[in-house]
Structure formats: C-alpha cells, structure tokens
Amino acid sequence: MSPSAIQSTAPPLPVPERDLDSEPFWDALSEHRLLLQSCDACARVRYPAISHCPYCVAREHWWRQLSGRGRIYSWIVVRQAFWPEFAAEVPYALVTVDLEEGVRVVGRMDDVEAPAFDLPVGATYVDHPEWTELRFKEVA
C-alpha cells in the first residue's frame, strides 16, 4: 500500500458548534477569510461572535473582514491529549494573537518551537471535512 493510501485510525476532530451569532464567522473561514463582528455604536471589533457588544451592550453590528495579521500575546503548548480525537494532533501550540485591527483572537500554531511574545504572525486556514480551522504561522 502506498503512503498516500494509508488511512488514519485517529478519530476526526470534533466539529465546532455553530449558532446564529457565529454562522458568518464559520462561513467566512470556509472561504479562507477572517470576518469578525464590529459594533455599530462604538466601532469596536469583537471576538468571539456574540449577540451584544461587550463594551457598550449595543446589539447592532456589521461583519468586518480582517487582515489576519498580528502579534502573539501569549501561548501554550499542548503536549498531552485529553480527548482521543486530539491524540494524533499533539504537540501543538494555542496562541492568543493581537490582530492589527485591535482585537485579540485565539488559534492554533503548528510549529510548537515558534511561538514567542510579540512574534509577527498571519492567519492560515485548515480545511477539515465539515469545517475550516483558523491557524497562525510566523510571517516576516
């Protein structure tokens, strides 16, 4: 059997739950775009998607496309899988990124040796069978 024909025995990663607030976010990721809510009243960008602005409590918002560029604020390297679905994924880094547009988001970074405070990163997208995952990689 050729290496490309080998089937993984690892269970698939869980599919994130979508709701009315987050649906546009997940749809945009599937198109390899990063969209986040921007408040009509105070203009602050927010993550994750929620029904009210956490800064001024306004309900009205629009979806803003972001660059996906930013700098690492913090990170953690996961070395032990706590669920069987993630056993084949470890080790991996979870990074908190301050995007250029002034909002902080969380994603994964595959290069567990790369994360460092203030490291410049850019968004990447990993397509899974039923969803697309936001990840980050180091950029110059």
Q: pLDDT value at position 11?
A: 78
- Note down pLDDT in tens along the chain; length 140 residues: 444 444 445 678 999 999 999 999 999 999 999 999 999 999 999 999 999 999 999 999 999 999 999 999 999 999 999 999 999 999 999 999 999 999 999 999 989 999 999 999 999 999 999 999 999 999 98
Q: Which pTM does this prediction carry?
A: 0.88
CA 139 to chain centre: 16
Q: pLDDT value at position 33?
A: 98
Whole-angstrom distance, CA of residue 127 vs CA of residue 140:
24
For residue 15, what are its two tokens? Answer: 């599919």
CA 77 to chain centre: 16
Whole-angstrom distance, CA of residue 50 vs CA of residue 107:
18
Whole-angstrom distance, CA of residue 3 vs CA of residue 135:
26
CA 60 to chain centre: 24
Whole-angstrom distance, CA of residue 126 vs CA of residue 140:
21
